[in-house]
Amino acid sequence: MLPAVVLAQDNLGPEPASFKDLGKMVTNILNIAVRMAGIAAFIMLIVGGFQYLTAGGDPKKTQAAGQTITYAIFGLIAVIAAWFIILFLEKFTGVSLTEVELEMPLKEY
């Protein structure tokens, strides 16, 4: 039997995180947070509408439903404003804040 030649790798683990990776993580968190807040505001609009329909003419329930709808609309406006602020910061700084990158590219050896 002849001995086999074995070549060991110099880099056994992934590369350490860099500042660029932190930017990608913040971008992903911002995008998820804005989308989740928009979904929550939409659900609260539906809940407020359902409360209004089932109030049965009771002034307290009607007022509570109106407040829910009002707060949901304010929340939706806040989400839209936050999205426009993110887009403004993207244009102002030149850093892409709205692109989500879920996978890290594999390094070829």
Number of domains in the chain: 1
Identify whether 34 is part of a domain.
yes
Neighbours of 89 (CB within 10 A): 14
Q: Which range of residues forms the domain containing residue 55?
A: 29-93
* Tens digits of residue pLDDT in 51-93: 999 988 899 999 999 999 999 899 888 888 888 888 888 888 8
Cα–Cα dist 108/18, whole Å: 18
Tell me the pLDDT tens digit for each residue of 8-61: 555 556 676 666 667 677 777 877 888 888 899 889 999 999 999 998 889 999
Identify the pLDDT of residue 47: 93
Q: How far is CA 86 from CA 39, 77, 81, in A?
A: 18, 14, 9
pTM metric for this prediction: 0.61
Instruction: Please compute the mean of the pLDDT values over residues 87-101 and round it to a whole number.
Output: 75
Question: Is residue 100 over pLDDT 60?
Answer: no
> Does residue 15 belong to any structural domain of this protein?
no
